[in-house]
Amino acid sequence: MVEIITTITGLIQGGLVWANKRSNWIFYCLQYIFLGIFSLTQHLYGDVTNSIFYFCVGLAGWIFWNKSKEDVPIKKCSKKERIIYSIIIIILTIIIYYILKNTNDPLPFLDAVTTTTSYVATFYMVTKKTDSWILWFINDILYVIEYWLLPNQALYLMGLNIIWTFMAVGSYITWNKIYKKQEEVKDERN
């Protein structure tokens, strides 16, 4: 039942963030409460840590996306930011993997990769950078694999991540359109 509730709140959140709606953060927080409970029952300790972290990030996202009466603008990552976040993902994956391999986590490396990629993608989603959707696309594919490989397959969450893979593509396209419109308005003002 927890897996189904997680899936439903995740679908609602995905649709709302795709539409660039601040209310996505409400369902984001709810989803991570339930995903944390589910992950604990599956011994996915990296994902449990993620869920606690993401609940707090969801609260921050709710606040950040309403920091002024104007919409928070969508931006693109610079080449330097892409290099930095790639290095962060590699280093954190190695550290988390070595922590998780000493637990009863059934998929310590995959759990470490999805954990670190999720952290970076979430940071860029909160700060409204289009690169978040590239990272989410990759991460959602990895989660599909993770949920398939679990001893007790998480088919609802696997399905959710399949849907999220397509939603990441849609969100990337939508956010890029918004970004281009913002740049056109900026150019017209100058």
Q: Is the pLDDT of residue 70 over 60?
A: no
How far is Cα 64 from Cα 28, in angstroms, rounded to an integer?
A: 14
State the residue range of the domain holding 100. 2-67+77-189
Report if residue 8 sits inside a domain.
yes
Contacts of 25 (CB under 8 A, 6+ apart): 58, 59, 61, 62, 65
Tokens of 143: 């989660």
- Provide the residue type at 60 as one letter: A
Report if residue 177 sits inside a domain.
yes
Report if residue 136 sits inside a domain.
yes
pLDDT, tens only, 97-123? 999 999 888 999 999 999 899 889 988
CA distances from 168 to 102, 146, 152, 182, 187 (A): 33, 18, 26, 21, 28
Report if residue 88 sits inside a domain.
yes
Tokens of 2: 């927890």
pLDDT, tens only, 53-64? 889 989 988 888
Question: What is the gyration radius of the CA atoms in the chain, in angstroms?
Answer: 17
43 versus 77: the higher-pLDDT residue is 77
How many structural domains compose the chain?
A: 1
pTM score, two decimals?
Answer: 0.80
The mean pLDDT of 176-189, rounded to a whole number, is 87
Report if residue 182 sits inside a domain.
yes
Report if residue 72 sits inside a domain.
no
Tokens of 25: 């953060």
The neighbour count for residue 98, using CB atoms within 10 Å, is 11
How many helices and strands (H and E) does the chain possess? 7, 0
Q: Is the pLDDT of residue 8 over 70?
A: yes
